[in-house]
Structure 1
């Protein structure tokens, strides 16, 4: 090599080394010692018996921002409200991590949850009218009719103890089908669809047995350029095969829904999801694949999540039966669910203690300075991976009080919360910022309708032998199982007594 080329190479190497050394470092951020050089804490987190136990312990030990080891790098776990507000709300918010979008895209394709930037803005603009306050209010009566069907099903169920999770999941799927797509899944009538079965398997899929190779393969996605990600689709694992299978099942259901909906006027006034998507197809604003992806996204995100939240809430009301009585008294005074303070406080408390999505992953798009609640700041490098710990934030004593890990709906009857975060009740359960859940108003309306009608007509209590619920070990969502009976799968067994009024 000539002296000139040698000099150029030396200068270039020195520049790269200088740039690397000058990068912001997060090594000073405290955290638990890593149990594995290769896997860091990721496998340990996945294998914990009850999701959230480790996160809450580490949050108490190291604070609301701490560092853990990841595969091929470090991860910052954040529950600090000011940091979360920055990550979610800045004008160019932190994008979702590439490993998350890669895995989720196997299920929903190019749906709203996966896409970023201009594509996300375009898709959201098309779908927004379906979730406006006026549109949500207009479909409440249809939901009430389906809940009446649920009432009949529970009344005729002669078992002394009923798995209410099964029924709440069914009604949630039928509501999203009729309200959003004018399509009857028929779950309450006993139609055990291929889609519902696939969704149940997804939310109760334990990841405890994920191999080290599978962990490292997923983590590798964070480092690879986008152009190389297509090659990874050729390498299948048990997990990716399951997700891909659910994606195929979901897309078949989406095509079936859309078949009868293409006879829509281009300038029509209907604002149901299916109408907006059919119109977007006619005007060329979305292609067939994108339309299928939106349908799959809304079914996956809007069905099992609502049904599971209702089941958690009924469990908590069974543990605290006096709170059922308060809600019944409110129902005697008014038909306007929004005007019932304790009903809504109980819904908020269930969403706080049992957020179905326990965390979100984000990546710093550039070197950044993140403000923290205590007035300090944290400098982070471009590409830094974050776990936005919604579960931990929802239980922070500094935000929710010393009883943050206990059921207490009365906290939401006060007006003195110290932070403002998220789109609903200062909670992170629906996310925050421009990437927040598009259907959060619809979800609240569903929760109000289902819970109010059920509490009005039934009394819920724990089985005589007593039960304690925990999260399904290794599940990607906070799905309830009975402690000591995890092998029986997701369930919320409660005694249901008909109230004769």
Structure 2
């Protein structure tokens, strides 16, 4: 009976989707748009425009380079069924999208729909007053005081990581004497967010013990690859079936494709796992402080603090159970792969610059000797100038996520910092942007603009952060929350955990560099960085994520 009902609903949805496609095509090919005069690259597909290039790990790099070098900050792209879209990295345009008019430029409808299916009622899926209320409750969880309290947790994870890598290096289990550094960084990043974020251990970093929840989190990104962006408008039609995420999940599960079924399985495992962790945390909190301190994270993890704050808040400010669980699902997904990507890129660069690696190691060892304590304190770690410069420069030149994706919910005007030349030869200083226009903010392009960062903008130079930044960078008022960069976005939807992420990077890097020397792989001289939604390394384009490196113990140097 249920199967017949789902089949009927799918057929009805198919008819609705076909009607919708015909209507959108007729409008887009017959009605003029104020964006028609904006220059941009030719579409490579009649159906998907430029989206296939943006969704491909190889062609995206070429498209991104063209967008940065051939146009001046505001570019027109073509989307699904000839849809006009904008790609912006002009600082004034980015400021308007992310800050001044942020209420106009929301996350795209299909992205919010998917986020609700994937993560529940977390910060990725909600908008308006509900989003503001969630941010208000969550912001104190990433304060300096909170980060100080979880620094020892991060250091314990880092020590376990060092012990695991030491064991592998000494045993030399690989014929080449090399190890897959990305695998260890991915496991450590998940354990960092597990212990520091959820008060839960995914991976003791001792041996490959399967963890169903951890495996589901790792498999979400691969399950989402291959066309989600291109089929965004089609995915939006799921909303015809209402707002029930569980029902939409049942519909997706009825689609006979292995990738879709794998995605549904991952989503259900994550939801169930976070629900179980929530119940355990809540029970411990109700049992009193003695029960809390005996849990992973000792009650200092973000979710334990959130639960306590939520219970103590006045009723109208409290988050619902679904909202709290939504934050948990959102946090583990957003924080794990991005952190491992940034760490992998940093170690890859340091392996190519042994002099800089040595200089960083010298700074870390000096700080450790001066401290005299077993571990550096939070303040000592974040105040290491060269480590900070290396992190900033890596995140400037190589952000783990290269795009911010928005959609206008009403007609608006978008100004630029300088005029662009329209297709008809006219100078354009601002453009009307119709309701429903998809807008991509180019994080990588903004971070690399030579007009702001100088002629060496494409060079990795940590030293640029050890002196005052160029006046043009400061005057541009780039709307990012971190270091005049868009790496962590800006405005009300900026990455709420960017300081948490910075601390993760610095604790792991300082611990690893003090103990090991990293060199490029001798057997795989070229590591390819795939421009997927989160940039990942592999041996050759499009292959499974991996980053083999030669690793030796410093004491054996």
Q: What TM-score do the two structures reach when normalised by structure 2?
A: 0.78
Structure 1 residues 267 and 80: CA distance shift in structure 2, 3 A: farther
Give the Å deviation of 1:145: 1.6
Structure 1 residue runs without a partner (length 5+) = 1-16
Deviation, structure 1 residue 185:
1.8
Tell me what 1:70 maps to. 79
- Alignment partners' CA distance in 2, 1:44 and 1:338: 39
- 1:148-182: CA deviations, max 9, x gaps? 11111111103321111111111122222222222
Deviation per CA, 1:264-319: give whole Å up to 9, x if none: 25999966422244343686623332222111111111122112211111011001
Render the CA deviation track for 1:111-168: whole Å, top value 9, x for unaligned: 1122111111111122222101111122112211211111111111033211111111
Partner of 2:434: 381
Q: Is the 8 A contact 1:29 1:67 kept in 2?
A: yes
Among 180, 189, 194, the residue aligned to 1:172: 189
Task: Pick which of 176-185 and 298-307 moved more.
Answer: 176-185
CA contact (8 A) 2:87 2:441 kept: yes
Secondary structure at the aligned position of 1:497 is classed as: strand
Using the size of structure 1 for normalisation, the TM-score is 0.86
Q: Does 2:303 correspond to 1:274?
A: yes
Q: Distance in 2 between matches of 1:61 and 1:287?
A: 48
| 2:80 is equivalent to residue 86 of structure 1 | no
Aligned-partner Cα distance in 1 for 2:365–2:305? 38
Distance 1:258 1:133, change over 3 A: same
CA contact (8 A) 1:32 1:68 kept: yes
The correspondence of residues 243-322 of structure 1 with structure 2, limited to 5 A, is 243-263=263-283, 264=285, 272-279=301-308, 280=310, 285-322=318-355
1:218 aligns with 2:235: no
Question: Contact 2:44 / 2:50 at 8 angstroms: preserved in 1?
Answer: yes
Are the aligned partners of 2:96 and 2:102 in contact in 1 as well (CA < 8 Å)? Answer: no
Deviation at 1:326, TM superposition (A): 1.2
Q: Does 1:54 align with 2:111?
A: no
- Equivalent residue runs for 1:102-501 within 5 Å: 102-157=113-168, 158-159=171-172, 160-190=177-207, 191-205=209-223, 207-208=225-226, 210=227, 217-220=231-234, 234=251, 238=257, 240-263=260-283, 264=285, 272-279=301-308, 280=310, 285-334=318-367, 335=376, 336-374=380-418, 376-417=429-470, 418=473, 419-421=476-478, 422-472=480-530, 475-483=532-540, 486-487=542-543, 489-500=544-555
Q: Distance in 2 between matches of 1:216 and 1:493?
A: 32
CA contact (8 A) 2:102 2:491 kept: no
**Aligned-pair Cα RMSD in Å:** 2.9
- Confirm or deny: 8 A CA contact 1:103 1:240 kept in the other structure: no
Between Structure 1 and Structure 2, how many residues are aligned? Answer: 475
Distance in 2 (alpha carbons) for counterparts of 1:348 and 1:82 = 22
Distance 2:529 2:354 in 1: 22
Instruction: Tell me, yes or no, if the aligned pair for 1:337 and 1:448 is still in contact at 8 Å.
Output: yes
Q: Secondary structure at the match of 1:28?
A: coil
Q: Tell me if 1:34 matches 2:43.
A: yes
1:68-108 residue CA offsets vs partner (Å, 9 max, x unmatched): 11114111011212211111112643110012122232211
User: CA 1:327–1:436 in 2, change beyond 3 Å: closer, same or farther?
Assistant: same
Query: Secondary structure in 2 aligned to 1:441?
Result: helix
Q: Is 173-182 or 74-83 further displaced after alignment?
A: 173-182
Quick check: which one's helix share is greater?
A: 2
What is the distance in 1 between the residues matched to 2:236 and 2:451? 33
Separation in structure 1 between the aligned mates of residue 454 and residue 222 of structure 2, nearest angstrom: 32
Structure 2: which 5+ runs fail to align?
1-26, 293-298, 368-375, 420-428
Shift of 1:380: 1.4
Structure-2 separation of matches of 1:41 and 1:132: 41
Report SS of the residue matched to 1:260.
helix
CA distance in 2, matches of 1:337, 1:227: 51
Cα gap change, 1:189/1:271 in structure 2, threshold over 3 Å: closer, same or farther?
A: closer
